[in-house]
A and B are shown apart, each in its own frame.
Chain A
Amino acid sequence: MLQDLFKQIGADELQSQRMASQLLKRANQLAEEESISEAEALENLLKKIIEGQK
């Protein structure tokens, strides 16, 4: 699903795969740093991506 999101905003197959896995890695880092759940961290990152597209 994440991969599809990156494809929709213009990334190719390989890029979107890498970006999706990196996004999950970053969500994990943020969850630890900010003591929040991984889902919440992922939601925050996705919001930033969507805002960036506006």
Chain B
Amino acid sequence: MKGENQLLKAYSHKMRSCLHVSGEDAYSFLQSQFSNDLPKGEIPFERYGLWLNVKGRVLADSVIVHSKDEDYYIFSENTDASLIKEILENHIIADDVEIESIELSGSILVNTLGANVLCHKLGIPAREAKSETSNAVYQDLSVGLVFPSKRLGENGFVFCFLDNASHDLAKEALEEASVHWIGANEMHLKRLALGTPLVPNEIGPNDLAGEGNLVPSAASLSKGCYLGQEVVARLYHVGKPQRQLFVMTFSALSESDSIELPMSISIEGRSLGELRTLYQDANDSNKWYGVALLKVRYLDLVQSEFRLASHPLDSLSTLSEFSQNFE
């Protein structure tokens, strides 16, 4: 847009979960439940991973952030705090762990240029946002929490605000610097370009991490035991997922085509999968990307026969193939 500084990018969003986990057993408890490996020791970190059930199904995703002492924070953009809290509390038995929900006023994901603007305005030491080693975590209970994120496709940081005043101040500072605000659709395209599925909409409680390009990036094969780990390891080492997440490209869809999601995909009475989400291309309004979980053995049939609002498929690729070719 005219007047915007295209180098300064920000995405404003609501974090549906922010949980504070503390107690002497906080680390070992989270390590036993979370699908990704959490570094041990005093080093601050942020890790993306999943909460699986005993059958290895994906209940939710989160970023766990550790700043200092026995304090851990769980953030999730797409799952309510009450659900994650419930999942965790079901497994607290003889562990010294306290979980409390924190209400955030909002969150802003910015690239490093945006982070410098915010640090300056909010009085956060600039070194906190300059690190490219992605282990800089800043915690100040009067402002909120800042942690690294590469979801914009470049180095960046998520600023989570505890109060409206800091949140408003941050938005004002970015506006003054002519920020380019990234919309939700553009953010989803960036996510697809990184090969990351949307949990739980694209990969959810009836699906396996391995079906959604999440192993080993979000579900570790080396950390040892965690809830659902046996299923993850078995499928990865000795099996092949029967279903996988694919990106369908349509080059002639129109906004007026009414499509209800999720949409079951069946041909000749056979269920082949489900179209779960749909995103519009940033430059071509007729081009759309659909994310579908498909039965791998019927791919040829999907490719040749499937029509979305009478439009045929332009191309079909796995989420990881798509991310390698998407520009």
Write the residues of chain A forming the contact surface with B, with a CB cutoff of 8 angstroms.
6, 18-20, 22-23, 25-26, 45, 48-49
Contact = CB atoms under 8 A, between A and B. Distances in A.
Interface in B83-112: 92-96
A39 to B, nearest CB: 16
A12 to B, nearest CB: 14
Nearest to A49: B93
Chain B residues touching A, range: under 10
20 contacts: A6-B94, A18-B96, A19-B94, A20-B94, A22-B25, A22-B94, A22-B95, A22-B96, A23-B93, A23-B94, A25-B96, A26-B92, A26-B93, A26-B94, A26-B95, A45-B93, A45-B94, A48-B93, A49-B93, A49-B94
Contacts of B92: 26
Contacts of A18: 96
A11 to B, nearest CB: 9
Nearest to B25: A22
A6 B93 CA distance: 12
B75 to A, nearest CB: 24
Given A19-B94, A26-B95, 7 more contacts: A6-B94, A18-B96, A22-B25, A22-B94, A22-B96, A23-B93, A26-B92
A49 B94 CA distance: 9
Interface of B: 25, 92-96
Contacts of A20: 94
A45 B96 CA distance: 14
Contacts of A45: 93-94
Nearest to A24: B94
A11 B111 CA distance: 47
Contacts of B96: 18, 22, 25
Nearest to A2: B94
Contacts of A6: 94
5 A-B pairs with the lowest CB-CB distances in the bound complex, closest first: A19-B94, A23-B94, A22-B94, A22-B96, A45-B93
A18 B95 CA distance: 9
B273 to A, nearest CB: 35
Nearest to A5: B94
A26 B95 CA distance: 8
Contacts of A49: 93-94
Contacts of A23: 93-94
A18 B25 CA distance: 11
Contacts of B94: 6, 19-20, 22-23, 26, 45, 49
Contacts of B25: 22
Nearest to B24: A18
A45 B91 CA distance: 9
A41 to B, nearest CB: 11
Contacts of A25: 96
A23 B25 CA distance: 13
Chain A CB within 10 A, most for which of B25, B94, B95: B94
A26 B92 CA distance: 8
Nearest to A16: B94
A40 B315 CA distance: 58
A49 to B, nearest CB: 6
A36 to B, nearest CB: 15
A48 B95 CA distance: 13
A1 to B, nearest CB: 14
B259 to A, nearest CB: 43
A20 B96 CA distance: 11
B182 to A, nearest CB: 40
